Amino acid sequence: MHGVTLEAMVTALAGHYGWEDLGQRINIRCFTSDPSVASSLKFLRKTPWAREKVESLYLYMLRDIRRAGPVVHNFPPPRR
């Protein structure tokens, strides 16, 4: 991942999915047992296979966000 830090990826994923959902998507203890960005970074920097999973999910999240496009609300017009 060029130009994106591991910390930025973990922070974005946790913000987008939440720790519980993130732990279900990537079943590693740093996401399921008392999760934090600091503990996740410590583990992911030592574990290449887990880091690859995080990078892959981060790219998937970005594609999914782009695919969804801008949020458009279809509220009914106000009554007069």
Alpha helices by DSSP H, listed for 1-80, are: 6-17, 19-25, 29-32, 37-46, 48-68
- Ordered by start, the domain boundaries in the chain are 6-67
Instruction: Specify the pTM.
Output: 0.81
Contacts of 35 (CB under 8 A, 6+ apart): 14, 19, 22, 23
Place of tokens 């996740």: 40
pLDDT of residue 68: 83
pLDDT over 80 (residue 29): yes
Q: How far is the C-alpha of 49 from the C-alpha of 26, rounded, in Å?
A: 11
pLDDT in tens, 36-74: 999 999 999 999 999 999 999 999 999 998 888 776 666
CATH assignment, 6-67: 1.10.720.30
User: What is the SS3 assignment for 49?
Assistant: helix
